[in-house]
Amino acid sequence: MVTRIVLRRDTTQNWELVNPVLSRGEFGVEIQESGSRRIKTGDGITTWNELNYSYISVEEFTDHLTDLNAHDIENITNAINGDITRINNTIDGLVQVDNNLINRITDAENGISQNTDNISALENTANQDRQDNQNSFNAINNGISILGDRTLALEVATHDKRRIHQPLQHRDTEQQQRQFGNKRSCRQGERARNNRRHADRRHSRNKN
């Protein structure tokens, strides 16, 4: 992997207009109208317009950068690799957290599904119990209705039987009364006959 270092550069007019403060050791390349280039090195305090130009040419500066590049590139590379390692570790941690979260979400969904099934089963049981109770209630009502009908029929039959028996009992009573009257008449007639016989006997005795 090739590392490219790009220096800050701008025209003389723009440098003077913005007048920035370069960091300590930071280079700034000024491109003049003639096309030549001059360099200033920052100290972290002084603004661009107050900085002095460096007394080296661009070629000398390029050579200087070449000498520094190997060491700087190694340091930059190590820093980048360290950052990459930390980023990878962070990503692995996040992936683990995501996996744990996904597992928890899955467990929660399974629990919700199980609870939903249990609720459905309870509702079905409750509906069946209500249906059974309704059937029992209907059967009781039907039994009560049948019993009422039979009771009413029995009362009607009893009433009709009484109506039938009453004339018979009345006729029996009349017949018994007639029989009793006949017997009484017979006894009275027999008593009268006996009285006449006794009277005849006394009359015969008196004549003798």
Task: Compute the distance between CA of residue 178 and CA of residue 184 in angstroms, rounded to an integer.
Answer: 10
Q: Which amino acid is at 148?
A: G
The structural domains of the chain, with segments of one domain joined by +, span 1-55
Instruction: Quote the tokens at residue 64.
Output: 């200087």
Cα gap 192→199, rounded to integer Å: 10
The alpha-carbon radius of gyration of the chain (Å, integer) is 69
Q: How buried is 6 (Cβ within 10 angstroms: 0-12 exposed, 13-18 middle, 19+ buried)? A: exposed
Count Cβ neighbours within 10 Å for each residue of 22-47 and write b for 16 or more, e otherwise: beeeebbebbeeeeeebbbbbeeeee
- Cβ–Cβ under 8 Å, residues 27 and 48: no
pTM of the model: 0.29
pLDDT tens for 105-158 read 888 888 787 878 888 888 888 888 788 878 877 887 777 778 777 777 777 777
Q: Provide the pLDDT for residue 49.
A: 95
pLDDT of residue 51: 94
Question: What is the residue-level pLDDT of the chain in tens, covering all 208 positions?
Answer: 677 778 899 999 999 999 999 999 899 999 988 888 889 999 999 999 999 998 665 566 666 666 655 666 666 677 777 777 887 788 877 777 778 778 888 888 887 878 788 888 888 888 887 888 788 778 877 777 787 777 777 777 776 666 655 555 555 666 666 666 666 777 777 887 888 877 777 777 776 6
